[in-house]
Amino acid sequence: MTQNLHHEYLQAMGVQCWVVRDKAGVNTGNSLPEPAIEGAGPVAHDWLTLEEQVSSCKKCRLHESRTQTVFGTGNRDADWLIIGEAPGAEEDRQGEPFVGRAGKLLDEMLFATGLQRADVYIANILKCRPPANRDPAPDEVACCHDYLQQQIALIQPQLILAVGRVAAHNLLQTDDQLGRLRGKVHHYGDTSIPVIVTYHPSYLLRSPLEKRKVWSDLQFAKAIIKQ
């Protein structure tokens, strides 16, 4: 990936400049400067700093009811970034996204596509569980937005897979029905990162006949990566 494209990613996210990251896994001074967005918090200089910011976050009321934050997991040099809605009860207990039955189904979906969990990075729109697994409130999404942006900037994925309605609506800033968003190449904000939309594994557990549609979405995403 060229330095110009790096600048494009960060400029679109409100960050003034970018220092090239060594894709072999060595950070060559990948410090991120303060964001240009008014009112935004400080940009993390590395993964450790960002994770510490998230774990101690008290920006919204969700910190009062969480067991722990759910930062994200996986390959920080991944081509695929999978983004879901928010932690559930099991995720809140374990501190990892997509565990339990839905997580197992996600693993099976990835395996069928030739991927394993260790090949991708998995995160959520929210880092804390909403009580009773309700939909995230707009102010809660806003509080977590900077964290997700910084994760995207550090990973520099080739593709984002938006899993479920809440993830798709917040990433694409739309309220279109999920069915209308599937089968199309969207882009994250003003960046060139393609976004593919599919159903959430929890929905598939309730509607197993829809699995064939997710298989089609994953094959579509795989084709986009190859391009």
State pLDDT tens for residues 138-187.
Answer: 999 999 999 999 999 999 999 999 999 999 999 999 999 999 999 999 99
Which H/E stretch holds residue 73? strand 73-74
**Residue 197, helix vs strand vs coil:** strand
List pLDDT tens digits, range 2-31. 444 444 444 544 443 333 344 333 333 333
Taking residues 101-110, report their average pLDDT: 94
Q: Domains in the chain: how many in total?
A: 1
Q: List the domain range (segments joined by +) for residue 208.
A: 3-226
- At residue 113, does pLDDT exceed 60? yes
List pLDDT tens digits, range 201-215. 999 999 999 999 999
User: Which of 24-33, 65-74, 88-97, 161-170 has the least mean pLDDT?
Assistant: 24-33
Cα torsion angle, 209, 212, 215, 217, sign: negative
Rounded to two decimals, the pTM is 0.81
Task: CATH number of the domain at 102, please.
Answer: 3.40.470.10
Find the DSSP H helices in the chain.
Answer: 3-12, 47-55, 89-94, 100-112, 138-155, 165-172, 178-181, 201-206, 211-226
Taking residues 103-122, report their average pLDDT: 95
- Alpha-carbon span 54 to 57, nearest angstrom: 5
pLDDT at 227: 83
pLDDT at 38: 33
